[in-house]
């Protein structure tokens, strides 16, 4: 199994409230390309993998995505902390009306997370190709967030999360090569 350490994988220390940025970043918690979907996808796909290396990789990255959910949720919560009623009403009202200041798994438009967005095909090569695409979608979402961010306290952990998406993409590429080699081996009976 694994050991849970009660600290974030990467520190978050946001001092300035920004409900609008919180709403945008919420998408990486429970939006279509967010960390919740990634973790559930990888932890579900692992069971159909033919090698212990592929199963292990999906377990490792799937649990790391859970840690990323914690980072994203902490960012959102710290961006909301200290916000006034008017600021919330102007900048966070679509989420606030239904969930208050709770961190709810949804997109930035308030669309709730749905398992229908998960891709688990059961074919190792198809699933890993999907995972590579998912990591690129998450990376580009983090880049779009960086385009809109101006607070260094927000930018720093978002850059860390973006870099992890790049590493995951590379790791999935390595396992894809192994799976293709396995598929192309001659079978002797």
The secondary structure of 73-131 as a DSSP string is HHHHHHHHTT--HHHHHHHTHHHHHHHTTS--SB-TT-PBP-GGG----S-HHHHHHHH
**Model confidence over 98-131: pLDDT tens digits?**
898 999 999 998 899 999 888 899 999 999 999 9
Question: Which pTM was predicted?
Answer: 0.93
CATH class of the 19-180 domain in this structure: mainly alpha
> What pLDDT shows up at residue 184?
82
Q: Which two tokens stand for residue 171?
A: 């790791």
> What pLDDT shows up at residue 65?
97
Q: Domain ranges in the chain?
A: 19-180
């Amino acid at each position: 199994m694994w050991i849970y350490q009660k600290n974030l994988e990467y520190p978050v220390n946001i001092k300035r409230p920004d409900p609008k940025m919180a709403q945008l970043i919420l998408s990486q918690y429970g939006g279509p390309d967010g960390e919740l979907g990634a973790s559930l996808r990888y932890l579900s796909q692992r069971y159909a993998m033919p090698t212990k290396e592929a199963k292990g990789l999906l377990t490792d990255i799937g649990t790391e995505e859970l840690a990323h959910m914690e980072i994203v949720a902490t960012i959102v919560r710290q961006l909301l902390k200290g916000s006034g009623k008017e600021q919330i009403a102007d900048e966070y009202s679509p989420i606030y009306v239904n969930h208050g200041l709770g961190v709810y798994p949804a997109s930035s438009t308030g669309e709730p997370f749905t398992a229908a967005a998960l891709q688990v095909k059961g074919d190792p090569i198809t699933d890993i190709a999907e995972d590579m695409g998912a990591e690129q979608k998450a990376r580009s979402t983090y880049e779009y967030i960086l385009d809109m961010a101006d607070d260094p306290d927000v930018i720093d952990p978002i850059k860390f999360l973006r870099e992890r998406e790049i590493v995951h993409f590379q790791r999935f590429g390595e396992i894809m090569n192994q799976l293709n080699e396995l598929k192309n081996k001659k079978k002797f009976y």
